């Protein structure tokens, strides 16, 4: 944070996760419902003032909320466009199927149905949303699993995930918010194992889909889009009017969302103070430059360039080669069956087994796995077909 005469305050996460409001606003409203600092269920735990004597920059304020600025005498307030956000507006929608039919193209709907069938055919699938009651032990296990999922996924991409650098903050805050119904955790299970987890924060009838994660062993099953679909289903059953997917024009957001909105900065400064005016001009120019670069996707080019020079971690998923067995050759006579999902020594075979189950449209539990007489070669038998997997 800045010093006594300047203050930069991040609004978005402080509102949804920190449940705090800056006193730079007299009020913040959603659809006529007002949230005031120090009042109501969203009373802030503010350890000071977000707006101080000369200068304040309140960043990332979503435009679907209504703001009443509270400038001091001789102070001016200026709004700056920063970036677009994306959301699913559920007004007038009664079911997930209706939303898909109205707003998603037929190709995406077909892909979603195919992946749902793949999950149902191959896995012991169940979905649960924790909203209100959540035991300490279950919460800690879910947060541990989610952290591991994010770490593996972004190691695979050779990128950093912003939330991991602040994981202790999310972990410390979220359990209380779930119990107060200010947050929820959507979980897709394969039997008793979480394979997709989505951490959501709630404000009135808005759900902020904050941190989705999935087990990359199940990457064939499209758990990213299935997770969003499950949150959509649950939201429509529970009075949600908007699912906010935040900023960043990622492909999956563009496919799902039927509306966009603006993230704005609110800049408070004193016209009669040279130092305050300088701070204001600096942030106005900086914001305009950032918007210009984002419009031209320079951030994506920079990320690709940076990743070229970043040291790659060890691969999260082993590479393997598949050969279909068409004859009667028996390479596993007398060899013991192995169990990738219960024996950690063979866990490296889970990804290949799940891919085979998806292709064969059989339960993963129906597939038998045997090591062959050759090193690093395994036979997978679905009952219908057999393949050799060579690592």
Identify the burial level of 34 via C-beta atoms within 10 angstroms of its C-beta, where 0-12 means exposed, 13-18 middle and 19 or more buried.
middle
Helices (H), the chain: 12-16, 96-103, 106-122, 136-156, 167-179, 223-237, 251-256, 274-295, 298-309, 350-360
Q: How far is CA 258 from CA 87, 93, 223, 244, 337, in A?
A: 7, 12, 21, 11, 50
Give the model's pLDDT for residue 56. 86
Give the model's pLDDT for residue 118. 92
Give the model's pLDDT for residue 302. 62
- Residue pair 189/151 in contact (Cβ under 8 Å)? The answer is no
> pTM for this one?
0.89
Beta bridge partners of 197: 187, 213
For residue 340, the tally of other CB atoms under 10 A from its CB is: 22
Write out the chain's pLDDT in tens, 391 residues.
344 445 888 999 989 998 888 878 888 899 888 875 444 344 433 333 344 446 889 999 999 999 998 887 778 899 999 999 999 999 999 999 999 999 999 999 999 999 999 999 999 999 999 999 999 999 999 999 999 999 999 888 777 788 899 999 999 999 999 999 999 999 999 999 999 999 999 999 999 999 999 999 999 999 999 999 999 999 999 999 999 999 988 889 999 999 999 999 999 998 888 888 888 899 999 999 888 888 777 766 666 666 666 666 667 788 899 988 876 566 666 678 999 999 999 999 999 999 999 999 999 999 999 998 888 999 999 988 999 999 9
Q: What is the CATH number of domain 92-240?
A: 3.40.630.30
Instruction: State phi, psi for 115 to the nearest 5 degrees.
Output: -70, -35
- How do the domains of the chain map onto residue ranges? 6-83+261-299, 92-240, 321-390
Long-range contacts of 189-192 (CB under 8 A, 24+ apart): 189/124, 189/125, 189/126, 189/127, 189/128, 190/123, 190/124, 190/125, 190/218, 190/364, 191/123, 191/124
């Amino acid at each position: 944070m800045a010093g006594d005469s300047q203050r930069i305050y991040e609004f978005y996460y402080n509102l949804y996760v920190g449940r705090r409001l800056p006193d730079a606003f007299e009020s913040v409203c959603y659809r006529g419902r007002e949230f005031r600092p120090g009042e109501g269920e969203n009373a802030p735990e503010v350890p000071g003032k977000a707006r101080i004597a000369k200068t304040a920059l309140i960043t990332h304020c979503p435009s679907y909320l209504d703001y009443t600025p509270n400038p001091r005498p001789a102070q001016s307030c200026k709004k700056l466009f920063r970036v677009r956000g994306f959301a699913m507006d559920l007004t007038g929608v009664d079911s997930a199927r209706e939303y898909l039919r109205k707003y998603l193209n037929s190709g995406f709907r077909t892909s979603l149905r195919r992946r749902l069938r793949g999950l149902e055919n191959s896995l012991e699938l169940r979905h649960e949303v924790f909203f209100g009651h959540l035991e300490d032990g279950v919460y800690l296990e879910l947060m541990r699993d989610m952290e591991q999922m994010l770490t593996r996924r972004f190691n695979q991409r050779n990128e950093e995930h912003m939330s991991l650098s602040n994981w202790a903050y999310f972990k410390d805050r979220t359990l209380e918010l779930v119990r107060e119904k200010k947050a929820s955790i959507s979980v897709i299970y394969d039997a008793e194992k979480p394979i997709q987890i989505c951490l959501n924060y709630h404000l009135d009838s808005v759900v902020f889909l904050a941190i989705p994660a999935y087990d990359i062993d199940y990457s064939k099953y499209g758990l990213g889009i299935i997770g969003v679909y499950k949150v959509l289903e649950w939201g429509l059953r529970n009075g949600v009017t908007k699912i906010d997917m935040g900023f960043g024009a990622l492909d999956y957001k563009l496919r799902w969302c039927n509306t966009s909105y603006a993230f704005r900065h609110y800049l408070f400064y004193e016209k009669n103070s040279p130092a305050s005016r300088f701070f204001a001009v600096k942030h106005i120019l900086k914001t305009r430059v950032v918007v210009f670069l984002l419009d031209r996707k320079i951030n994506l080019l920079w990320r690709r360039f940076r990743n070229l020079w970043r040291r790659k971690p060890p691969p999260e998923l082993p590479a393997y080669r598949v050969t279909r067995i068409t004859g009667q050759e028996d390479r596993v006579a007398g060899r013991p069956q192995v169990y990738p999902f219960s024996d950690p020594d063979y866990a490296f075979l889970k990804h290949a087994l799940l891919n085979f189950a998806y292709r064969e449209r059989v339960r993963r539990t129906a597939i038998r796995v045997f090591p062959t007489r050759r090193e690093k070669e395994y036979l997978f038998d679905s009952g219908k077909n057999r393949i050799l997997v060579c690592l």
